[in-house]
Amino acid sequence: MATFEFILVGGGTAGCVLAARLSEDPSTRVLLLEAGAAEPSAGMADPLAWPRLAGTSVDWNYATVPQRGTDNAVISWPRGKVLGGSSGINGMMHIRGDRAGYDAWAATGASDWNYNTMLPFLKRSEASEAGDPAYRGKDGPMRVGPGPAGDPLWEACFEAATEAGHSRNDDGNGNGKTAEGTSWNDMNVVDGRRQSSADAYLGATAGRPNLTVVTKAHARRLILDGGICHGVEYRVGGETRTAFADREVILTAGAIGSPELLMLSGIGPARHLRDLGIDVRADLPGVGGNLQDHPKSQIAYTATRTVRTGRYARKPHVLLRGDPAAAPDLQMIFIDLPVHPRWVPGPEDGYSVIFSLMTPASRGTVRLASADPTRAPLIDPNYLANPADVSRMIAGLRAAREVGGAHALADLRDQELFPGPDVEPGASDTAAHAYLRRTVTSYFHPVGTCALGRGQLAVVDPELRVRGIECLRVADASVMPTLVSGNTNAAVLAIAERAAALVTGEETVPA
């Protein structure tokens, strides 16, 4: 038996941030548990190799249940299983999203969670050489920047987007008014190598005797006594161990792992837990609910010549409005190969315009398959269940086609491979919807399953404390009540930075 002030369950983006910040006080003993390995696998450092990391030893290799909105497809859900978590296998895009996405959190009743209150923590996490210091961090652990210029495909894609009417935004992360428009991506790449949260945050903790990191440690349950969380039971090397926290246990296992561990411990929807024979310790119906992800699809083209350069260079993205009266709700990015349905790389020379809905109305669930902690949970993102999502994705398809067919890409463009002639420009919504059903996949941005707020379905309060259980918090993507209009790793870094400030007493939020 070991005792610490804090136990962190999950060594992904949020866990690495909290481990580094809480252990800055040398008198504070911190334990970080991570189910994956300590060392990155071959290829993780290469910024161009990320598409090949899914399904390897550093991936949980999850999959959804059959999705009715996508012709009952079972969709792959990669999640990082290594120190650094999904920041170790993702596309390294550091995109905050528009301020409206953070302001929407206040609608849950947590009025002090909005863009203005999150901005100091967005800044604290990053080091950006460019941009307005009122909005950009200059000395944080994560070094971010757009990469070198000069790749002909990406330069042409940027020009195609502006040609299609999407105005240039010189700093989509650092424009305090809006992230809308065409911007060069900030990336988590340093000296041509991936920088994960483990690289950025845990690298600075080397030699701290008060931080213990245990990898290949699979948490099985929380140790509860009368509404107080005292510690964690976990397995490592075939041995069951327990660790106790004098102050708090903090779940940082992400939108899948955190609700899964709560439910395995008897905290969650009472009926679901009883059906599995799990004793109910706290009936919190919101645990595992409210699951959201950015659905994505693509327009794919063959090219007149090889467009893959094999070198790391800056790439653009576009944030736009499917509904002119609403906040920005669609994103476009670009890939240097033609993507076939269900995110399958094609053998042809070509490129794709990826489009994704940033503010989906559909909601899904994470549920336990059984009381056995070694069984993978049941993941149901419920893609395209809400008709509003279908209509906005159709708007995204049309916007992507306008960009992909722009004159700026004429020298590279051969022909449209997907959707192709079956979905002609201006075709009926029925044909476009059919194309979406057979192509939509995950953008790998799950959130919401331990949502922040004050209502009946809220799981954590504005201090990120689990309702009804003392000495237990959640601080990861699962607490986002709604998705932001960006790639979620940047937002998770800020949530974890703010969580550290809440835990240490640096910051408090109104009761």
Classify the phi-psi angles of 464: left when phi > 0, otherwise alpha if psi is within -120 to 50, otherwise beta: left
Q: Of 94, 166, 433, 445, which one is the catalytic site residue?
A: 445
Of 301, 258, 253, nearest to 420 by C-alpha is 301
Q: Looking at 184-337, list the stretches that DSSP marks H as alpha helix, in order from N- to C-terminal side.
A: 197-201, 254-264, 270-275
What residues does 447 pair with on adjacent strands? 292
Q: What is the C-alpha to C-alpha distance for residues 64 and 442, in angstroms, rounded to an integer?
A: 10
Is 445 designated active site? yes
Given CA atoms 178, 182, 183, 185 in this order, what sign does their dihedral have? positive
C-alpha to C-alpha distances, 21 to 29, 145, 245, 351, nearest whole angstrom: 12, 23, 17, 41
Give the integer Cα–Cα distance in Å for 209 and 245: 17
Residues 6+ apart with CB under 8 A from 501: 121, 507
Was 403 annotated as part of a binding site? no
Taking alpha carbons only, the member of 487, 477, 485, 489 closest to residue 451 is 477
224, containing H or E segment: strand 217-225
| Bridge partners (DSSP) listed for residue 6 | 30, 248
Question: Taking Cα atoms as reference points, which of 341, 454, 377 lies closest to residue 112?
Answer: 454
What are the C-alpha distances in Å from 129 to residues 137, 144, 158, 189, 195? Answer: 9, 8, 22, 13, 16
Q: Strand pairing partners for 193?
A: 190
* 443 among annotated binding-site residues: yes
Binding residues are 82, 443
Binding residues for FAD are 82
Binding residues for substrate are 443
Would you please indicate which residues are annotated as catalytic (active-site) residues? 445
